[in-house]
Structure 1
Amino acid sequence: MKFSENWLRELVEIQADRAQLAHALTMAGLEVEELTALGEGLAGVVVAEIVAAEKHPEADRLKVCKVDAGQSAPLQIVCGAPNARVGLKAPLATVGATLPGGVSIKAAKLRGVESLGMLCSAKELGIDADASGLLELPADAPVGAPLADYLGLPDASIELKLTPNRPDCLGLLGLAHDVAALFGSHVKAGGQAPAPVASGARRGIRLEAGADAPRYLGRVVEGIDPAARTPLWLAERLRRAGLRPIGAVVDITNYVMLELGQPLHAFDNGALEGDVVVRHARAGEALKLLDGSEAKLDEGFVVIADERKALAVAGVMGGHDSRVTDATRDVFLEAAHFAPAAIMGRARRLGLHTDASHRFERGVDPELPRRALERATELLLAIAGGRAGPVLAAERAQDLPVPQPVALRRARLARVLGVAVPDAEVVRIFTALGMHVEATGEGWRITAPSRRFDIEREEDLIEEVARIHGYDNIPTHTPAGALRLAVEPEARIGELALREQLAARGYYEAVNLSFVPEELLARWGFAGGLVPLANPLSADLAVMRPSLLPGLVEALRHNRARQQERVRLFEVARVFGAGDPPVETPSLAIAACGAARAEQWGEAARPLDFYDLKGELDALIAWGGEPGRWSVHADGLPPWLHPGRGARVARDGVTAGYLGALHPQLARALDLGPDVHVLELALEPLLARRLPRAQPVPRFPLVRRDIAVELPEEVSWSQIEQVVRGKLGGVLCELRLFDRYSGKGIESGRKSLAMGLILQDASRTLTDDDADRCVREAVTALETACKARLRG
């Protein structure tokens, strides 16, 4: 929010200088981000008129001007401005003046021609950044008058950095209430008198957008002067607020928006056909906007339309075809209230950010439209003439927000602030802020005005007292109390410990955004169960990530593109699935590529493969102390995994994640090589840890029996281990795979696995017969479940 200091002082009495005002605003939570002094040091600068202008005899770009400055005779001024011309009124710095930039004006000769002063641009005077030519003053500017008096200088342009919960301060009138409360004064601006109705011009209004647009007001003003110029005082206030004057009608709507905080729009009434209809856009509907861009709309947008076409995107920008032009004599002024949710994010979807959308998506006082419409009409009639028709209004009262009273307890206020604020001061603060105060036994019942959307609960009222009473008036105390230390459960590995473990294994932690482009997810094959954002930061960050891998692999690709051939990355974060509310799952992801080991002399380099990443997984699983509860399977792979070099990871038979090489098609689409391997697991199963239990050292010896079985190629080791353990139970201490063979002597499509059965009984020594029986049972189980045959 940017505004003129003098304008604010006109609305509210301020017994403080500029520095004190800026400090008070900042301490009240309305941070002054920038303060620019305007028009200081303009003594000796007057309004002048060029009465003659000739080309300089020695310079093509200079002119020798005769300038009337209200003195007994015209002054000779040499000027190089391109807009210097006869009849122009512009500022003249007379001999002896010192401009804000430190330039002292003296009599001088330029290329042999005497010059007794300097005609000035706005930048040279320190009141604007425009240095393209002389500052052009209106034709009725009084010649010889001090420029500072004529322009209302000195002044300052103040820019506030407002938080999103204070949309009421996006208008000077709302800000004035805070200033009045801070300085113990009152707001000078009273109510707005209705403009005189001199025309019967009407136009029907229909509300068809439901709760998204519950109030719409309009008025036809006929017979305005299209050549009317914006008065200097209004144009200067717009400039000092950062807006460029455009034309009388548009400038008036902008002025009222800055003054009251209510955006307005003016249509060329002759371009409208039939009733004004406030409705949702139709799918595929297009509208050319004021800036010349083409807006592609859908049902999520609210539009202002007539009987035949859309006229404007509600709360964002008007349409090009219904704009006010230099030939417009009849205008239709509109002022409306839109629900913030209906406007939020719509401007960004169109690649825009407008003053109207900035206000509407934060919330505008629903009671402002009528006052703003009357104020705009008053200014329009005074500046451009015309005849105003009656105010036309349509509303859905049931959908308009109604302020609710909030209780404030005296004891709670004192407890939170740490200081007792006198009752009279509390009442003064809320009254000055425009709130209705009702005393109760425990404190007060406060009803905020309709412009204060942020007052919802008791804490909001306490904050109001704190910032207006002054944080400097609240004593500082060191907090006292005992901190309760959180106890880490022994049955769970800490996330920090997991991160440290992975860092120790050579991985770098990555932190990616939780939002990803929908196109990237489609490339990976994530189609259903996505969580779209209603208000995305940008079009390419519109979906919550269902997996950590797309973002992590993008980070790997980014590093690869910068000559990092061996990359090791991991991320611990949440992924999101569809639900109400969306389901959040803490996850771990790993992405790696390049050589299996860092460059060294001890062994030959080889590329990373599936078993390297499987080894990392085994190390993490073993950390929890229950590797037997985990299994790896070759079925049920997602589309982004290589079908022959991927695996599904399960704990207690429930899928916990996946690992393996990227699918070749995906790797090619991402411009990656075949060596990129990934792992993603749900975090909670991985962090579960078995508590250590003391057990006696076994008294009886181990017995080992080795067997070799031939079985189909597609049977995995995890299936074999599950079958053997299920059959032998607690007698089997360990099952070791020590050889794999396929080739000569083995049927095509089959393989031979040699394994060692480590047997032990806690109650007795196993005999040879016991061991042989275990071998027979294991072989029989494998023959039945895995189509295995014992090799001789």
Structure 2
Amino acid sequence: MKFSEFWLREWVNPTLNSAALSEQITMAGLKVDAIKSVADDFHGVVIGEIVNCYKDIHNTKVNLTKINIGNNKLLNIICDAINCREGMKVVVATTGIILPSSRYKIISTTIYGIVSEGILCSFGDLGINNDFSKIIELPINAPIGIDIRNYLQLDDKIIEISVTSNRGDALSILGIAREIAALNILSLNIPNIESVTVTTNETCAIFVDATIECPRYLCRIIKNINLKVLTPLWMQEKLRRSGIHSINPLVDITNYVLLELGQPMHVFDVDCIEGEIVVRMAQEDENFISLDGTQIKLNKDTLVLADQHKILAISGICGGKYSGIQDNTKNILIECAFFNPLAISGRARRYGLYTDASCRYEHGVDPELQYKAIERATQLLVDICGGKVGPIVNRTQENHLPKQITIILRHEKLNLLLGYRITEEQVTDILKRLGYEVAFSIGAWRVIVPSWRFDIQLEEDLIQEVARVYGYNNIPKIPLTTNLTMTQHCETNLSLNRVKNMLVDKGYQEAITYSFVDPKMQQLLYPEEKTLIILNPISHEMSAMRLSLLIGLLSAVVYNQKRQQRRVRLFESGLRFIVDSQSDLGVRQEFMLAGVLSGNRYKEHWDIQSQEVDFYDLKGDLESILDLTGKLEEISFCAEANPALHPGQSAAIYLSDERIGFIGVIHPELEGKLSLNGCTVVFELLWDKIIDRILPNACAISRFPANRRDIAIVVSEHIPAAQIIAECKKVCANQLVNINLFDVYRGKGVNKGKKSLAISLILQDTSRTLEEEEIAAIVNKCIEALQKQLHATLRN
């Protein structure tokens, strides 16, 4: 919101300069975003009067004028503005003046033999706006010879603030002035708003069907107004400095009252209204034509104002085309209402009709403000446009208006939360200054919240109010004291941070994705699983609770690939949500750890050929994680069907006989549907199944030599290397310190359906040097076991 500092000071004028005032507004919770001058620095430009104006005989587009600038001084000035005429009060820049628009000094100029001794200024010339087409027309009573900077108050500042969603009361000069008055212990200079004398008995028939959405609706007819008059310059300037362009007196007056008091209003052409007026809910797909001619189909939850044949306005948002004010409008209906914020919220965004009115109604308007606002607008309208004023038509349902809230504020609770004691008298004074009704008794205040503060609901809200007005800077900084106790740490629990750090060390980045996912994408990955659907989602693409962390991670991979990221490594930990009738609320939540690999195996390097990641890259990283549990020997990777994964490059992960997760390459058919580029490898683990770890046993390094023996065997193609290694470990007792697969061969010399595996055995004893006979015996045991269990043969 933008507003004029001078306008604010008409209501409350603290002894603070602009910078200090802005700082105070920010510390009160209304953040000041910017302060800028109304106009650039210039001096010597004065008010003059055109005493003579006629067309030049050489060029009829040029006016030759004589300008009275006071002190019996007349100037000859040539002007080509279309609105230049005799009798106007204008803004005159004489020779020697430097204007902001050009930064050049004005000099006398001879045109057609006539010397021009200055220029008549537009707002553009003064650097106030970009309108150079017309010269400034001042009120007829503007004093000649006065500096225009003083007359238009161009030393004013425009203050722009950000108002949080809970402070709708601060979206007006009145609301901001209340805050400044409370902070500086000053009284408000509220304009005198009296009831306007009724001069006609004409009214209109108003019915309110939607009393919950519109518990108060006021309106009145004003006849025979004059729309040919101009909006007073003082009002135009206040609107302009608030970021609103002047349109016509009616629109300007309602905008002025909106900024001044915070009450939105709307004006209709009475002669365009057919029959009775009703405030009701729209019918499904009912048509509405906006002021700019846009046709909108309304939902049935939209509040409207309608006559017998058409919708006149979307209530609280904008008016319609067929009841809007025209240049020839003579008779008007002025509306002022309280709409329930829930009835307005979201509708403007839905229809793309965000307005200042909808903003204020969504934040919440004071339900006691409507009488003052309609009288204030009527008063200004009659003063500017004239007209005969009808009585106010009032349709109010008191039982549907917001109820006054009473809150008990305990002194002990206030001191406890602030960590500082504020006296009873200070608290009472602060609350009263803010407009609360306060009564203190036995260590607590009974506080009645003012009608304009929709955001105050709890005792904690009042404590915040007291703290911000007392001044956060005035609360001393006292170090927190507490009794520290060491939390128990179980060494047999695997730390999630330890796993995260390992993945980061391996080049992964942690991702945090939404628990809400696209149901279509989830259905692709889990076609046979039930999904928990959200009734009121953020969007349709986020309407399902995730069955796996992979939905979010794969979306992140696609996002990065579209931005030319050729190497993506991500992991995430979090909850998944499984439909389970046996669980509380029918949902089982499980904590998961998941990861994804895509793109190049290594970072780009001149000495390394580009290679794409594969199943074994991720399997190696995953085994590093599982090794932290001390149970890697008990882990097995077993082929198992998964509709989301490649049937030949995927596996279920088992700890002993319990399934704890899976790993695999995304199915080729899904890659295209998910917009994935290239091989994408994923894993997911049930965290609770791997959290228990076996503590490592420390033992001395053997002083005796290690011996390596290699064997090459031929086995069936379907036998995994893990099974071969497991068989060797069974028969080698404690002398086998390491076993490793170092070569796989298929081709010449190996029958089809077979493969040759080369395995290294590292043998070592902790107490003595192994003899060659002992080593040979161990190797033979391995060969015999492999021959017996796996039908392996030694390769020639």
TM-score, structure 1 as length reference: 0.78
CA contact (8 A) 2:404 2:450 kept: yes
CA contact (8 A) 2:208 2:214 kept: no
Mark the CA change 1:534 to 1:229 in structure 2 (over 3 Å): closer, same or farther.
farther
Q: 1:270-419 maps to which residues of 2 (within 5 A)?
A: 270-417=271-418, 419=420
Deviation at 1:574, TM superposition (A): 4.5
The DSSP-based 3-state class of the residue aligned with 1:500 is helix
Deviation at 1:398, TM superposition (A): 4.0
> Is 1:689–2:692 an aligned residue pair?
yes
**Any idea what the Cα deviations from partners look like across 1:65-115, whole Å, max 9, x if unmatched?**
433435646412245667656665431124566667896966533678633
> Is 1:668–2:672 an aligned residue pair?
yes
Deviation at 1:154, TM superposition (A): 4.1
CA contact (8 A) 2:47 2:142 kept: no
CA contact (8 A) 2:49 2:89 kept: yes
Mark the CA change 1:577 to 1:324 in structure 2 (over 3 Å): closer, same or farther.
farther
Q: 1:106-117 maps to which residues of 2 (within 5 A)?
A: 107-109=107-109, 114-117=115-118
Amino acid at match of 1:180: A
| Residue in 2 that maps onto 1:618 | 623
The DSSP-based 3-state class of the residue aligned with 1:361 is helix
Deviation at 1:255, TM superposition (A): 1.1
| Residue in 2 that maps onto 1:216 | 217
**Any idea what the Cα deviations from partners look like across 1:194-232, whole Å, max 9, x if unmatched?**
333423322222233x64444333333333333343222
| Residue in 2 that maps onto 1:10 | 10
**Any idea what the Cα deviations from partners look like across 1:509-537, whole Å, max 9, x if unmatched?**
4556777778877887899534476667x
| Residue in 2 that maps onto 1:768 | none
Mark the CA change 1:139 to 1:603 in structure 2 (over 3 Å): closer, same or farther.
closer
**Any idea what the Cα deviations from partners look like across 1:510-569, whole Å, max 9, x if unmatched?**
556777778877887899534476667xx988888776545544544454455543x132
CA contact (8 A) 2:34 2:159 kept: yes
CA distance in 1 between partners of 2:336 and 2:376 (Å) = 11
Mark the CA change 1:86 to 1:372 in structure 2 (over 3 Å): closer, same or farther.
same
| Residue in 1 that maps onto 2:92 | 92
Moved more, 87-96 or 439-448: 87-96
CA distance in 2 between partners of 1:625 and 1:608 (Å) = 27
CA contact (8 A) 2:592 2:686 kept: yes
> Is 1:45–2:46 an aligned residue pair?
yes
| Residue in 1 that maps onto 2:599 | 594
CA contact (8 A) 1:530 1:578 kept: no
Amino acid at match of 1:329: K
| Residue in 1 that maps onto 2:157 | 156
CA distance in 2 between partners of 1:735 and 1:277 (Å) = 87
| Residue in 1 that maps onto 2:474 | 473
Moved more, 231-240 or 61-70: 61-70
CA distance in 2 between partners of 1:290 and 1:378 (Å) = 26
CA distance in 2 between partners of 1:601 and 1:260 (Å) = 69
Unpaired runs of 5+ in structure 2? 580-584, 701-711, 728-735, 762-780
Mark the CA change 1:199 to 1:687 in structure 2 (over 3 Å): closer, same or farther.
farther
**Any idea what the Cα deviations from partners look like across 1:380-430, whole Å, max 9, x if unmatched?**
233223334443344454443223222223344445445544433333222
Deviation at 1:7, TM superposition (A): 2.2
Deviation at 1:21, TM superposition (A): 2.8
Mark the CA change 1:15 to 1:508 in structure 2 (over 3 Å): closer, same or farther.
closer
Deviation at 1:625, TM superposition (A): 3.3
CA distance in 2 between partners of 1:61 and 1:578 (Å) = 80
CA distance in 1 between partners of 2:282 and 2:637 (Å) = 52
Amino acid at match of 1:684: W
| Residue in 2 that maps onto 1:761 | none
The DSSP-based 3-state class of the residue aligned with 1:312 is strand
Q: 1:57-206 maps to which residues of 2 (within 5 A)?
A: 65-70=65-70, 72=72, 74-79=74-79, 89-95=89-95, 107-109=107-109, 114-125=115-126, 128-138=128-138, 140-142=140-142, 144=144, 146=146, 147-148=148-149, 150-152=151-153, 154-189=155-190, 192-197=193-198, 198-206=200-208
| Residue in 2 that maps onto 1:241 | 242
Amino acid at match of 2:693: R
CA distance in 1 between partners of 2:248 and 2:154 (Å) = 23
Mark the CA change 1:60 to 1:420 in structure 2 (over 3 Å): closer, same or farther.
farther
**Any idea what the Cα deviations from partners look like across 1:111-130, whole Å, max 9, x if unmatched?**
7863323322324435x323
The DSSP-based 3-state class of the residue aligned with 2:321 is coil
Unpaired runs of 5+ in structure 1? 698-705, 725-732, 759-770, 780-788
Mark the CA change 1:605 to 1:349 in structure 2 (over 3 Å): closer, same or farther.
same
Moved more, 148-157 or 526-535: 526-535
| Residue in 2 that maps onto 1:24 | 24
Mark the CA change 1:129 to 1:386 in structure 2 (over 3 Å): closer, same or farther.
same
| Residue in 1 that maps onto 2:231 | 230
The count of aligned residue pairs is 747
Mark the CA change 1:181 to 1:143 in structure 2 (over 3 Å): closer, same or farther.
closer
Deviation at 1:311, TM superposition (A): 3.4
Question: What is the RMSD of the two structures over their aligned residues, measured on CA atoms?
Answer: 5.1
Mark the CA change 1:413 to 1:97 in structure 2 (over 3 Å): closer, same or farther.
farther
The DSSP-based 3-state class of the residue aligned with 2:363 is coil
The DSSP-based 3-state class of the residue aligned with 1:455 is coil
CA contact (8 A) 1:52 1:67 kept: no
**Any idea what the Cα deviations from partners look like across 1:263-298, whole Å, max 9, x if unmatched?**
222233344444444444444444333344444543
The DSSP-based 3-state class of the residue aligned with 2:532 is coil
Mark the CA change 1:86 to 1:484 in structure 2 (over 3 Å): closer, same or farther.
farther
The DSSP-based 3-state class of the residue aligned with 1:437 is strand
Amino acid at match of 1:673: N
Mark the CA change 1:350 to 1:228 in structure 2 (over 3 Å): closer, same or farther.
same
**Any idea what the Cα deviations from partners look like across 1:567-626, whole Å, max 9, x if unmatched?**
132142546759989998655443333344556799976533334333333332333334
Mark the CA change 1:488 to 1:2 in structure 2 (over 3 Å): closer, same or farther.
farther
Identity among equivalent positions (%) equals 34
Mark the CA change 1:100 to 1:635 in structure 2 (over 3 Å): closer, same or farther.
same
> Is 1:507–2:508 an aligned residue pair?
yes
**Any idea what the Cα deviations from partners look like across 1:682-732, whole Å, max 9, x if unmatched?**
6633761324276999xxxxxxxx999989x8x9999x99xx9xxxxxxxx
**Any idea what the Cα deviations from partners look like across 1:477-511, whole Å, max 9, x if unmatched?**
34444555655553444443333211222324455
CA distance in 2 between partners of 1:385 and 1:628 (Å) = 94
**Any idea what the Cα deviations from partners look like across 1:614-670, whole Å, max 9, x if unmatched?**
33333323333345776666666355x445545555778887665433344443355
Mark the CA change 1:459 to 1:687 in structure 2 (over 3 Å): closer, same or farther.
farther
Deviation at 1:168, TM superposition (A): 0.8
Mark the CA change 1:24 to 1:299 in structure 2 (over 3 Å): closer, same or farther.
same
CA distance in 2 between partners of 1:500 and 1:408 (Å) = 47
Mark the CA change 1:114 to 1:506 in structure 2 (over 3 Å): closer, same or farther.
same
Q: 1:540-579 maps to which residues of 2 (within 5 A)?
A: 548-549=549-550, 552-557=553-558, 559-561=560-562, 563-565=564-566, 567-572=567-572, 574=574
CA contact (8 A) 1:252 1:380 kept: yes
CA contact (8 A) 2:569 2:595 kept: yes
